[in-house]
Chains A and B, each alone.
Chain A
Amino acid sequence: MKNFGIMFGKEIKEFLRTYKVFVVPGLFLLFGFTSPIITKVLPSLLSSLAEEINFVLPEMTWVDSYGQFFKNLNQMGILAIILTTMGTIAEERNRGISQLVLTKPVPRTSYVLAKYAANFLPIAFTTVLAFFATWFYTDVLFPDTVFLNGLGATGVYIAYLAVILALVILASAMTKSAIAAGGLTVLGLIILNLLPLFSKALSKYSPAVLADYIYQVAGGTAASGDVWGAIACAAGTVIILLTTASLVFSRKEL
């Protein structure tokens, strides 16, 4: 792990000084602010758009507001994360920058782990900030909002994010092209989502089911044993993915 700190510092600076600082945090904060408002106005919006059709919508609650927020993060948020991080190793290798850095005393494991940590931490931090925004507006717009449910769901989302990001890092370490890395990540995500179909244990604990647990935790209906089990499996998956990424990258010719 020699020089991890210096590589991590460099990556954080890169995050703060390039477009990356605007894309994911901007998008997450936008979802944080707008999700409760959209949830609140959606029924009246739909009614006013098509007055001749009689919509019967259940009354929206704080659970729907949280649900809307996490649905946005799970779709557009994940897509934005993949797009902004898929080239993190592949592009540097392709452009020869990694060659310049790795002929200095930087172990490849430090290089890979610094990439992961420096991409994960700002996004996790932004997710928490965005949740606070959503919680604030949800509390203003809906009665009886439960803060802890939302915070718990944010934690589950961050665990899910950790797995996705580890997958992107592995894909990026495997190829020399950002687009190929993006494609590999999507393939990995498909495989990850198919895993719960193969056994009962996987349907409870595989990282992909975290995406479902987010909504259950937000609504207060999740079985905490299953959620903690899935988080532990997610942690194990992250370790396996990052170890594989380090090994794969160590064998790559620069």
Chain B
Amino acid sequence: MEYVIQTNDLCRLFGSVKAVNNLNLNVPKGSVYGFLGPNGAGKTTTIKILLGLPKPSSGTITVLDQPAPSKNYLHRIGFLPDVPNFYPWMRGDEFLTFAGRLFAIPERELAKRRDELLEITGLKGVKTKIGGYSRGMKQRLGLAQALINNPEVVFMDEPTSALDPIGRKEILETISLISERCTVFFSTHILTDVERVCNRVGILNHGELIREESLADLQQDYASNAFRLGVIGDPAPFVQELRTKAWIEDIQADNDTLLLTAFDIQAAQREIPMLLSKHRLGLNKLEQVEMTLEDIFVRLVKQ
């Protein structure tokens, strides 16, 4: 597999606090990589380090085969910050022209690309100065400027977190569109966005990468060993005994519905009916569940 971003034991300290702790990222070429984590997990710090804004405390980084921090790959990447800010006195098309010139794009090509991006982001014909833009419009302009140089990798720091549902939908649709031609590295804590557009995830907590794999594999891993049980009767003694079993990994109880995760699926299938019988509980539902990314995320972060 060809990787466009790789980090090796990346660390970033703020005083004695490890904002990023021995991070080993592998972002495959062409993927839409969801970089997940709760607030304060170190997502923004990681993105900024990858962009060369602060230097890491230790560890190595490679972006597009170039060692980082270095300016050698800046012309091949795009960046959309979480809350993009612009020169308020410029118009959107002027900012795109300015950004394109920084990449030394020939004027004729730049004009074509600028018009195309304004069209994609729905900003074509907007003559208002950026100072008068709504938050959603700024986000869309941010996306357009991140794409002006036809980047090979686009870094997006929580691109949808400040948007209303319509703004989010538009941004996610644009991400899906651009993912056909470049790698997208996309940090967020909005799990439904990841489920919608990403095909690979890295889950970060307290600066540490706790899981990194394809979204399908992650869901497969957790789907195969989770059961939802609907019981009739008081489940408390049953749950208490289940917790003593070596094959049980986790139990989440919600009234008479239990979500069980097992280390050993065969043992679970064999013993659960016996235990139900022993505790004289009726059964109105037993199903193997596909866990949502949110369930997986919460479990991984809790662990």
Contacts from A to B (Cβ < 8 Å): 3, 6, 10, 14, 17-18, 95-97, 99-107, 253-254
Residues of chain B within 8 A of A105, CB atoms compared: 71, 74-75, 102-104
Q: Is the CB of B53 within 8 A of A100?
A: no
Residues A14 and B103 in contact in the complex (CB < 8 Å), given A96-B84, A100-B84 = no
Q: How far is the CA of A105 from the CA of B75 in the complex (A)?
A: 6
A-B contact pairs, 26 of them (CB 8 A): A6-B98, A10-B87, A14-B89, A17-B89, A18-B89, A96-B81, A96-B84, A97-B86, A97-B87, A100-B81, A100-B85, A100-B142, A100-B145, A103-B53, A103-B74, A103-B77, A104-B75, A104-B99, A105-B71, A105-B74, A105-B102, A105-B103, A253-B48, A253-B53, A253-B54, A254-B48
Q: Contacts A105-B75, A105-B102; is A96 near B53 (CB within 8 Å)?
A: no
Extra contacts, 7 of them, besides A3-B102, A104-B74, A104-B103 (Cβ < 8 A), are A95-B85, A96-B81, A103-B52, A103-B74, A104-B75, A104-B99, A253-B54
CA gap between A10 and B94 in the complex, in Å: 10
The CB with the most chain B CB atoms within 10 A, among A14, A101, A103, A104, is that of A104
Known: A103-B53, A104-B74. A96 touches B85 (CB 8 A): yes
| Chain B residues within an 8 Å CB radius of A95 | 85
Name the CB-closest residue of A to B55.
Answer: A253
Q: Which residues of B contact A101 (CB under 8 A)?
A: 102
Which residue on chain B has the smallest CB distance to residue A94?
B85
Closest to B79 in A: A103
Please report whether the interface of chain A is mostly helix, strand, loop or mixed according to DSSP: loop
CA distance A105 to B53 in the complex (A): 12
Cross-chain contact B53 with A6 (CB below 8 angstroms):
no
- Name the residue of chain A whose CB is nearest to the CB of B84: A100
- The interface bits of chain B over 58-86 (1 if a CB of A lies within 8 angstroms of the residue's CB, else 0) are 00000000000001001101010101111
How many angstroms between the C-alpha atoms of A138 and B133 in the bound complex?
49
The complex places the Cα of A10 from the Cα of B86 at a distance, in Å, of: 12
A10 nearest CB neighbor, chain B only? B98
A17 to B102, CA, bound (A): 21
Complex contact A6–B89 (CB within 8 A): no
The 7 A-B residue pairs with the shortest CB-CB distance, nearest first, are A253-B54, A103-B79, A104-B102, A254-B53, A95-B85, A96-B85, A105-B74
CA distance A188 to B27 in the complex (A): 48
**Residues in A whose Cβ lies below 8 Å from that of B75:** 104-105
B209 at the interface (CB under 8 A from A): no
* A65 to B101 Cα, complex, angstroms: 47
A103 and B102 form a contact (CB under 8 A): no
Residue of A nearest to B83 (CB): A96
A9, B87: Cα distance in complex, Å: 14
Residues in B neighbouring A3, C-beta threshold 8 A: 102
In Å, the complex CA distance between A92 and B84 comes to 12
The reply on B51 being an interface residue by CB < 8 A is yes
Which A residue's beta carbon lies closest to that of B71?
Answer: A105
A17 and chain B: residue at smallest CB distance: B89
Inter-subunit contact B102/A102 (CB<8 Å): no
Contact assessment for A97 and B98 in the assembled complex, using a CB-CB cutoff below 8 Å: no
